[in-house]
């Protein structure tokens, strides 16, 4: 159910995360404007949303009518002008400070002072992003998880400057999307990546040190701890480049070895073996069917 006095949402970026966020906003009843830099860049995200709605309709998660209504509420655009009525903005553009600051600054000039700004960043400082706008008290972190339409969690992060009422409004907004919000502060990695990233990096170290094979490390954690995916499968799913980038930022922040990317991860990223999206990572996805573990030498 949408929040009573909230109607128009803007989602910046229609990549893996942005498309999922736009999808859940439209599903929840919000008029959702999703921005990309070109029609070409909008296409894969919109295709993923439609595929997801088809799946949900086929499984009875949504009725065909609910899926069609959500579709009507989704407004793709390449123009900032179409976002001017947005009351809540969620940024999910590339994980780069300069790119995020630029788009926030452009919107800050165009949108009314009451609009709330949120970033889906997983590792950059919310405070630093907020400081590039004239509304740091109306700025929060809103961190979704991949795949957004299925994962229940949203981390809601406040900075020292965030207005308490705005923070609570962001928590209520996350809940209105059918998600379970958890409250956190502007600490690099928030709650989940603070704990998840060292675990994923340790799995790579265990592989490097010959503790077990790719399959055995994954099976160990899946069957021994009840995790839905083994850590190396999860790394392929999240993206080795993404994890490497987040780990580097966390290492710079905390200067602790547990956040330092292991050499094997770096070399796989250098080789372009970034996981599922690249066709290979710890597993080979190029043949289709059951992915096979790679021979990493
Ligand atoms: N929309 C609709 N359906 C989808 C979908 C989507 N976007 N994505 C996947 N599905 C479907 C699958 O195709 C599958 O359909 P099927 O049954 O018809 O084949 C169905 O959902 C369920 O998939 P599975 O049978 O593989 O079942 P699982 O129970 O394993 O669920 C999962 C899949 C939810 C992805 C589960 O494996 C999981 O929870 N994995 C861990 C994911 C995780 O940890 N994510 C967080 C990553 S960290 C992060 O995002 C933070 C960032 O900052 C790094």
Q: What is the mean pLDDT of residues 63-92?
A: 97
Predicted confidence (pLDDT) per residue in 112-151, tens digit: 999 999 999 999 999 999 999 999 999 999 999 999 999 9
CA-nearest residue, atom 37 of ligand 1: 228
- Is residue 297 scored above 90 in pLDDT? no
pLDDT over 90 percentage in the chain: 97
Q: How far is the CA of 271 from the centre of ligand 1 (A)?
A: 26
Fold observed for domain 193-286: 1.10.1040
CATH T-level topology, domain 8-185: Rossmann fold (3.40.50)
| Ligand 1 touching residue 151 (CB < 6 A) | yes
Token pair recorded at residue 286 = 């190029």
Give me the catalytic one of 19, 120, 122, 125: 122
Instruction: Report how many helices (DSSP H) and strands (DSSP E) the chain contains, helices first.
Output: 11, 10
| Ligand 1 site-directed mutation target among 45, 55, 226, 250, most atoms within 8 Å of CB | 55
Q: What are the distances in angstroms from CA 161 to CA 106, 154, 157?
A: 21, 20, 11
Domain range annotation of the chain:
8-185, 193-286
138 three-state secondary structure: helix
Q: What is the overall mean pLDDT for the chain?
A: 97
Per-residue pLDDT reduced to its tens digit, 19-37: 999 999 999 999 999 999 9
Can 33 be counted among the known catalytic residues? no
Model pLDDT, residue 19: 98
> Which pLDDT tens digit goes with each residue over 189-232?
999 999 999 999 999 999 999 999 999 999 999 999 999 999 99
Answer whether 104 contacts ligand 1 (Cβ < 6 A).
Answer: no
Q: Give the closest residue (by CA) to ligand 1 atom 4.
A: 52
Q: Is the pLDDT of residue 13 over 90?
A: yes
Structure-token pair, residue 256: 């602790």
Instruction: Tell me what pLDDT residue 1 has.
Output: 84
Reading the block at residue 8, the tokens are 């128009």
Which residue puts its alpha carbon closest to atom 54 of ligand 1? 238
Q: What is the helix (H) or strand (E) element at residue 235, kind and residue range?
A: helix 231-238
Question: How far is it, in rounded angstroms, from Cα 213 to Cα 293?
Answer: 9
**pLDDT for 260:** 98
Cα–Cα distances (Å) from 98 to 7, 149, 234, in that order, read 29, 28, 28
pLDDT of residue 9: 98
| Residue with CA at minimum distance from ligand 1 atom 6 | 52
75 part of the active site = no
pLDDT digits over 245-283, tens only?
A: 999 999 999 999 999 999 999 999 999 999 999 999 999
Cβ count near 295 (within 10 Å) = 7
């Amino acid at each position: 159910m949408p929040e009573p006095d909230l109607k128009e949402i803007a989602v910046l970026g229609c990549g893996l995360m942005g498309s999922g966020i736009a999808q859940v906003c439209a599903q929840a009843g919000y008029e959702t404007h999703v921005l990309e830099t070109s029609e070409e860049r909008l296409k894969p995200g919109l295709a993923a949303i439609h595929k997801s709605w088809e799946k949900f309709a086929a499984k009875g998660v949504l009725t065909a009518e609910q899926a069609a209504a959500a579709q009507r509420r989704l407004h793709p655009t390449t123009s900032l002008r179409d976002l001017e009525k947005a009351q809540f903005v969620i940024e999910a553009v590339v994980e780069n400070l300069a790119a995020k600051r630029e788009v926030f600054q452009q919107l800050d000039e165009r949108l009314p002072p009451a609009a709330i700004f949120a970033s889906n960043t997983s590792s950059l400082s919310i405070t630093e992003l907020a400081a590039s706008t004239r509304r740091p008290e109306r700025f929060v972190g809103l961190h979704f998880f991949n795949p957004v339409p299925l994962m229940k969690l949203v981390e809601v992060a406040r900075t020292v400057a965030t207005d308490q009422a705005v923070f609570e409004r962001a928590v209520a907004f996350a809940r209105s999307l059918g998600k379970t919000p958890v409250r956190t502060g502007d600490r690099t990695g928030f709650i989940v990546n603070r704990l998840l990233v060292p675990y994923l990096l340790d799995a790579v170290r265990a592989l490097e040190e010959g503790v077990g094979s790719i399959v055995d490390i994954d099976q160990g954690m899946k069957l021994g701890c009840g995790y839905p995916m083994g850590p190396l499968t999860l790394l392929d799913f999240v993206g080795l480049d993404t994890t490497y980038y987040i780990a580097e930022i966390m290492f710079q922040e905390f200067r602790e070895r547990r956040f330092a990317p292991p050499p094997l991860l770096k070399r796989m990223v250098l080789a372009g073996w970034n996981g599922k999206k690249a066709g290979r990572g710890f597993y080979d996805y190029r043949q289709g069917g059951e992915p096979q573990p790679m021979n990493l030498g």
